[in-house]
Chain A
Amino acid sequence: MKALFLSILLLSLTACATERQRHLPELTAIGDARRATACESIFPRGHWQFAHAIDFSMQDGSGGTVIGVTSLSEDEIACALMTIEGLTLFEAVSKKGEGLEVRRAVAPFNKPAFAEGLMADVRAIFLPPAAINIRHGWLDNNVPVCRYTGIDGRTTDILPATDDCWQIKTYTSELVMDRSIVGYSCQKKENSLIPEHLELKGFTNSGYTLKMTLIHAENLTRKTLP
């Protein structure tokens, strides 16, 4: 009985600690413009194309491995998922001023919420957050941070110097973390910090994890393709 009580207590404490970690942490503000530059430099600028091996795991135990392609330009962001064998599972394009165009979606990737969620993940990884307010400072553990608050009340924390790469955390308007992105083994490539590996965790009702390994990253800004 004593062991059971201790187990329950331990589980409760762990749950509380996890819940607390998912709330927006306090920020000690500083007015350093260099921090803003460091935060924005984690995002690729210009016309880029990325291909990743993506291992996805859903909370219900399902998952798989796919190839993900992301294409970025000034006025367009496009992404596609395909099987290792080449079957296109999903393809969508989002143009500035226009809505999301889903060109192809094969079950189980054909639910509207999936398209919206995927594009939100892609934007979170590759694009600076749209913000009405940006604050710079330190978190409790002396980690530098840039905090972007959007017009919808959502918050994005960018931690530009964490270990050998960067991290991004997004929070709902209720200030609860709904997404965590951790980059590993960053490499400087044409003024951008490109991670060799990325781990994205979604904390929505259907929790999921994406482990992404870079296949190639190519800056197409000034290149003429054959």
Chain B
Amino acid sequence: MKLFFLLLSFSFFLPVQVTAGEIPDQATIRLRSVQADFLQEKHLKILARPIISTGTFTFQSPQSLRWEYRKPIPSILLMHAGKVKKFVERDGQLAEDTRMQLDSMQVVLSEISNWVDGRFTDNKMFKVSFPKKQTVLLTPKEQGLAALISSIELKLANQNGLLDEVTIFEGPDSFTRLTFTNRVLNREIPAALFTER
């Protein structure tokens, strides 16, 4: 389940500040906050059609997050001041889900700051390469992680180092693609958004 949180973290980095020299011609921006809508497609060999999920994403530096799915299962993951909470719709009501292990999220948080600062090469878990101009490819270094994820592909937008797409490949026929739209950068976000459902 630790991986589940790790995967979440990869989509935190909608605005990617790439270190100079790694991807040429990418203008960088100083990130304070970002909000975006996302569309998630889950592809699997047995699926005749992908499972589509939609929601919104809000991140504020240094470590506040609201990751909200609207469909098909309403759920909210909140992180703020080192505390993590998850709410999931059960019997028609959003209720806090205390049944799942959330401690590992604390570990992942330290990784997030690296990514937001554009320190791809410093990542302990992934080998980083740049197969195309606008693409960052992450390959797991650890065998345990490699058994679950074969690679992660980040597609950058044309400007400001923003991320267009994150694709997490589990195997040849199984991947999850997140596409981000309606991004708003550096807007003031009230703290309550990261603490209240």
Contact = CB atoms under 8 A, between A and B. Distances in A.
Interface of A: 49, 51, 53, 55, 57, 61-65, 67, 69, 71, 78-80, 82-88, 91, 93, 103-104, 106-108, 211, 215, 218, 220, 225
B105 interface: no
A86 B42 contact: yes
Contacts of B42: 67, 82, 86
Central interface residue in B46, B49, B69, B171, by most chain A CB within 10 Å: B46
B174 to A, nearest CB: 6
B99 A64 contact: yes
Interface string B1-27: 101100110000000000000000000
Contacts, number: 91
A80 B7 CA distance: 19
Contact of A71 (B8, B46, B99): B46
A25 B196 CA distance: 49
Interface in B86-101: 88, 90-91, 97, 99-100
A85 B8 contact: yes
13 contacts: A53-B73, A65-B73, A67-B72, A67-B73, A69-B47, A80-B44, A80-B46, A84-B88, A88-B170, A91-B46, A91-B174, A107-B1, A215-B73
A87 B176 contact: yes
A64 to B, nearest CB: 5
B46 A69 contact: yes
B140 to A, nearest CB: 14
B72 A53 contact: yes
B48 A71 contact: yes
Given A64-B97, A67-B72, A85 B7 contact: yes
B51 interface: yes
A85 to B, nearest CB: 6
A132 B171 CA distance: 42
B92 to A, nearest CB: 10
Interface in B43-83: 44-49, 51, 53, 69, 72-73, 75
A60 to B, nearest CB: 10
B44 A88 contact: yes
A48 B8 CA distance: 31
Contact of A65 (B3, B44, B51, B88): B88
A88 B174 contact: yes
Contacts of B174: 88, 91, 104
A148 B48 CA distance: 32
Contact of B148 (A71, A79, A103, A106): A106
A207 B148 CA distance: 29
Given A65-B97, A67-B73, 20 more contacts: A53-B73, A65-B90, A67-B72, A69-B46, A69-B47, A71-B46, A78-B46, A83-B4, A84-B73, A86-B40, A86-B42, A86-B53, A87-B3, A87-B176, A88-B44, A88-B170, A104-B171, A107-B1, A211-B90, A218-B49
